[in-house]
Amino acid sequence: MAVRFTIDACDGSARLGRLQTPHGVAPTPIFMPVGTRATVKGVTPDQLRSAGAQIILGNTYHLALRPRDEIIRDLGGLHRFMAWDGPILTDSGGYQVFSLSGLRRVSDEGVVFRSHVDGQRLELTPERAVQIQENLGSDIAMCLDECPTTEASPEILRDAVRRSILWARRCRDAHRRTDQALFGIVQGGLDLDLRRHCAEDLAAFDFPGYALGGFSVGESPDQMHQALPDCAPMLPANKPRYLMGVGRPEDILAAVAAGIDMFDCVLPTRNGRNASAFTMTGSLRLRNARHRGDPTPLEADCPCYTCRNFSRAYLHHLFQVDEMLGPTLLSIHNIAFYLRLTAEIRAAILEKQFDNYRASFLSKQQFDRSRKS
């Protein structure tokens, strides 16, 4: 198999494991920085490694448009193209069915997009989604799925589940690379019966890993937190479980408690570009005037490059004068924060202290609401 998953310890439903891929081993629970267009925004591969990143993401839809998956294939694959020698997971374009709903048409055959770049037609069938990801050469590829909004009608939800199962079968039949794992994606919104039906049908395909899609698409955090303890056990216990696109620290903790192993989210770099830093005691808004003369780092005990070298005052200055280094330094810190968080979660699971760790973390969270300068 292209990937192997081992569970080394459990604390309640929380799992400590290892995901072995052709490009290395990632400990789980693991956070995966998002590199949509073959780059984690504003951060070099060396900076990612120094921050502790072990597996990152790429995007099927965006890379098929630019530069095109055939070009990446001819240049040696995505790992060589972006100079990242660790594991890579590529999503299938299913999220763009949700995020670009005004630019696509969905049928049982697949999805036809009108490119957000130049309006040209891009047809994404299950077979084409697999072909693109095989051309990219990622370690883990995802089945094409239909991701509806939480507000979708029961009829739309049922049709999305039916179609996602149909497409998963076609993806499985089209997949050829033996050095690449193909994961299935369970849809169904907040309807647990639909989720269970989708999970049971996909389990019959015996994918090497499974994801929960269709969260963080309009539901409240409380709704997601309530659903996860029921949804996670629907996925095979001996396979890696991946919660797609969900990444607030409190959401990760809730998902780990439910038995989820893998996470991705754009928040570390998106918030970094918007002068917001994650810390173990809450978020900081670096544009706020209170940071103007502050000589302290973002976090005194954070080992990242940003905290070892720069003050809050300097970071505040960079954002005040619109220097591009500001978003880069905050993105480095935020990625390191997420990777430190998941490392601490793993240690807590090993010590049978996860519930205590979660409660302690949440009790320390505060928010920086000081006035802006």
Summarised one tens digit per residue, pLDDT across range 23-67 is 999 999 999 999 999 999 999 999 999 999 999 999 999 999 999
In a domain, 196, yes or no: yes
Q: Report the candidate in 349, 153, 164, 171 with the shortest Cα–Cα distance to residue 256.
A: 349
What is the Cα gyration radius of the chain?
Answer: 20
Q: Are residues 83 and 119 in the same domain?
A: yes
Structure tokens at 184: 């299935």
Q: Are residues 195 and 317 in the same domain?
A: no
Task: Answer with the one of 222, 237, 265 that is the final residue of a domain.
Answer: 265
> What pLDDT, on a 0 to 100 scale, did the predictor assign at position 373?
46
In a domain, 373, yes or no: no
The number of distinct structural domains making up the chain is: 2
Q: Which residue type does 341 have?
A: L
In a domain, 296, yes or no: yes
- H/E stretch holding 172 reads helix 154-174
Strand 276-279, strand 282-285: pairing = antiparallel
In a domain, 372, yes or no: no
Supply the range of the domain harboring residue 95: 4-265
C-beta of residue 143 within 8 angstroms of C-beta of residue 136: no
> What pLDDT, on a 0 to 100 scale, did the predictor assign at position 150?
86
Q: Are residues 195 and 320 in the same domain?
A: no
Q: Are residues 13 and 135 in the same domain?
A: yes
Residues of the chain with pLDDT under 70: 369-373
Q: Are residues 258 and 291 in the same domain?
A: no
- Say what the pTM is: 0.97
What 8-state DSSP symbol labels residue 322?
A: T
Task: Answer with the one of 265, 300, 318 that is the final residue of a domain.
Answer: 265
Q: Are residues 15 and 109 in the same domain?
A: yes
Q: Are residues 25 and 148 in the same domain?
A: yes
In a domain, 168, yes or no: yes
Burial class (CB in 10 A: 0-12, 13-18, 19+), 62: middle
Structure tokens at 37: 């267009």
CA 246, CA 252: separation in Å to the nearest integer?
7
Helix (H, G, I), strand (E, B) or coil at 180: coil
Q: Are residues 246 and 346 in the same domain?
A: no
In a domain, 103, yes or no: yes
Q: Are residues 251 and 280 in the same domain?
A: no
Q: Are residues 99 and 224 in the same domain?
A: yes
* Beta-bridge partners for 124: 111
CA 114, CA 122: separation in Å to the nearest integer?
6
Task: Answer with the one of 211, 238, 265 that is the final residue of a domain.
Answer: 265
CATH for 63: 3.20.20.105
In a domain, 336, yes or no: yes
Q: Are residues 314 and 361 in the same domain?
A: yes
* Beta-bridge partners for 210: 184, 241
C-beta of residue 354 within 8 angstroms of C-beta of residue 345: yes
For the annotated catalytic residues, the residue numbers are 91, 264
> What pLDDT, on a 0 to 100 scale, did the predictor assign at position 369?
56
Q: Are residues 21 and 169 in the same domain?
A: yes
C-beta of residue 212 within 8 angstroms of C-beta of residue 235: yes
C-beta of residue 288 within 8 angstroms of C-beta of residue 320: no
